[in-house]
Amino acid sequence: MYITKILFFILAIYLFNQTISAQTNYTEAALDAGIEMVFVTGIEYMMGSGMSEPGRHDDENLHKVKVNNFYIGKFEITQQQYKKIIGTNPSELSSCGDNCPVTNVSWTDAVAFCNKLSESAGLTSYYTISTTGVSYNTSANGYRLPTETEWELAARAGTKTPIYSGNVTQVSDNNWTELGSIAYYSGNSCATYAGAQDCSDKTDKQETCDLCGIQAVGKKTPNSFGLHDMLGNVWEWCNDYYGSYIPEQQGQEMTLESVSQVSNVLQENPMGPTIGKLRVRRGGSWKLGARNARCAKRSNRAESFQGSDVGFRIARNS
């Protein structure tokens, strides 16, 4: 009886340690990619922005969501990491260097990267890619893009303010003082490498220069989850099709009444519309003004769109 109790106690400790270890940060070693993943505890939170937030758009209506635990990349996928997995570097601004975010990747390119990384790591692919489109295996343990709801939770890191460093005092769209310490945007993305783009038309910048571009990841202050560049540097693809936050109103004009109704209706692990033509991208970029680099800001492009300020970070079920 005594031995049985000891064995039970040892088993309990083992299972506890297994649970803890499954919920800690780790680095994906497949193909020497060195991608650092951060564990995020799922919670219930209010997604979107309030009516008085500077720079807000009318597709950011506040609504209640609940998210399960998940992992997300500590940094945006870099040019070096992309080349190790895919074999090529499509970035227009490749002169920025290996540790700069990969750019000029479409949504389709990003999910293909996720599948290739999953296969290399011996995991089950999240996506099935065919000539007719892309489908998901939501129970797969492989890599994927974060959902829009996961992305905003990760970006906010427990905050309710427009940016994760606090409130903003708007001087101009190219000079939000509070944003400069955490993000690269049109006001502070000065660059001197070959291929840097003309930004002399951006007036009243936080930093004075005529050429701008992407910057190496991880140089700005992270949020309280330890995530870098969630705002600015490059737009980040999310998994979702773009649509209204109100499921029954997708494709329809939203009213104040419908917004007030949805605010208190809990949506659990929402994944956006089931069909669409546009995919969500989040976070703003080095090219654009501060109002685009807010936690609640939404944007979208076609799955095939590529740009010198568009990249991604990866996620994974916990």
**6 located within any domain:** no
Instruction: Say if residues 206 and 174 touch (Cβ distance below 8 Å).
Output: yes
User: Mean pLDDT throughout 122-141?
Assistant: 95
Query: pLDDT class for 171, splitting at 50, 70, 90?
Result: low
CA atoms within 13 A on the CB side of 110: 34
- Residue 157: domain span: 26-317
**147 located within any domain:** yes
Q: Which three-class secondary structure state does DSSP give residue 120? A: helix
**265 located within any domain:** yes
Residue 298 or residue 56, greater confidence: 298
Please state, rounded to an integer, the average pLDDT across all residues of the chain.
88
**17 located within any domain:** no
**14 located within any domain:** no
In sequence order, the β-bridge partners of residue 163 are 166
Q: What is the CATH number of the domain that holds 92?
A: 3.90.1580.10
**106 located within any domain:** yes
**115 located within any domain:** yes
Q: Output the six-digit token pair for 97.
A: 């260097």
**CA 294 – CA 305 distance, rounded (Å):** 22
Report how many domains make up the chain: 1
Q: Output the six-digit token pair for 109.
A: 């390119």
**CA 173 – CA 137 distance, rounded (Å):** 41
pLDDT of residue 123: 97
Give me the amino acid identity at 37: M
CB-CB neighbours of 224 under 10 Å: 11
> Worst-scoring range by mean pLDDT, 39-53, 127-141, 258-272, 288-302?
258-272
Residue 109 or residue 266, greater confidence: 109
**15 located within any domain:** no
Q: Which residues contact 114 (CB under 8 A, 6 or more apart)?
A: 125, 126, 127, 142, 143, 144, 145, 314
For 258-308, what is each residue's pLDDT tens digit? 545 456 788 999 999 999 999 999 999 999 999 999 999 999 999 999 999
Residue 81 or residue 6, greater confidence: 81
